[in-house]
Structure 1
């Protein structure tokens, strides 16, 4: 039996948020957007996602206002996808989920570290730099390979 796509009977903000971002492909598309992926073919190649599934997720994220389509070519018409403010505001939740996954599901160490640009630290619990203690924002970090990355 498939789970319903909506949770109208639940008076719960978690349930409402899951209606938008509650499947694995959607969160991975958003993660890739934070890592600088912008174009359809790049999302598809990076994620290994079926084209029809990716098209559906990108459309839904645009419809929900987490991504916006921006033209970059006229003939043929092509667009790239950029995070909106609403999408960027998912950063704390996404990083917290990643850190939780690192703690419980990365026995060889984190596959990706979120590095503080211009510092030798990485994002830690509380979204602060492990080296300088500064509270970090998405534009101040970049993903780098961690000790658990696979070849």
Structure 2
């Protein structure tokens, strides 16, 4: 089966997902953030095969990012609504969008602008430290073992080396 390329789509999220792998799941979520709620609307907006969309929606519901809410009883039809867990994914999409705007946008600029309603400005996502508010970059941030790291793996020499101070 030939893979569809999203490299030229007018959406930085789509372009980023073209590089990362399964692009449909974040794009379904993107459409949910744009206000799409119904199967046919998702399918029309994305041009996605019905079986693929069914699979992605089923997975998003199972994982708790979307909730099914019936809007018709005969036959039963559902709206797919973002849950709290799904709404929390918005920051991920914004960061992906920012990366795509920087590295994949054409000469005309970003295909979609993000308008921050609170201040009324066009803006973009920044990853900042929750404690001090300063930007977090690969140069000033490093991973450390967290409380949920499995103790039996934390004792391995390669893991200790990776997370050494």
Q: Shorter-chain TM-score: which interval?
A: 0.5 to 0.7
CA contact (8 A) 1:96 1:125 kept: yes
Unaligned segments of structure 1, at least 5 residues: 1-21, 129-151
Q: Matched residues in 1 for 2:28 and 2:43: separation?
A: 9
Q: Aligned-residue CA RMSD in angstroms?
A: 2.0
Question: Equivalent residue for 2:86?
Answer: 87
Q: After superposition, give the CA deviation of every residue in 1:81-138 in whole Å (9 maximum; x if it has no partner).
A: 011111111111110000110111112211111212375412323279xxxxxxxxxx
3-state SS of paired residue (1:70): strand
Q: What is the TM-score of this pair, normalised by structure 2?
A: 0.61
Aligned to 2:122: 122
Any idea what SS the aligned residue of 2:35 has? coil
| Aligned positions, number | 108
Distance in 2 separating the partners of 1:78 and 1:113: 33
Return the structure number with greater strand share.
Answer: 1
For normalisation by structure 1, the TM-score amounts to 0.66
Q: Which residue number corresponds to residue 74 of structure 2?
A: 75
Offset of residue 76 of structure 1: 1.8
Aligned twin of 2:53: 54
Partner of 2:31: 32
Cα-to-partner distance string for 1:36-77 (whole Å, 9 max, x where unaligned)? 000000000000000000000000000010101001111221
- 1:6 corresponds to: none
* Higher RCO by CA contacts (8 Å cutoff, separation 6 or greater): 2
Q: Return 5+ residue gaps in structure 2 as ranges.
A: 1-20, 129-165
**Structure 1 runs of 4+ with >4 Å offset:** none
- SS of the counterpart of 2:85? helix
Report the Cα distance in structure 2 between the residues aligned to 1:68 and 1:88, rounded to whole angstroms. Answer: 11
| Secondary structure of residue in 1 paired with 2:78 | strand
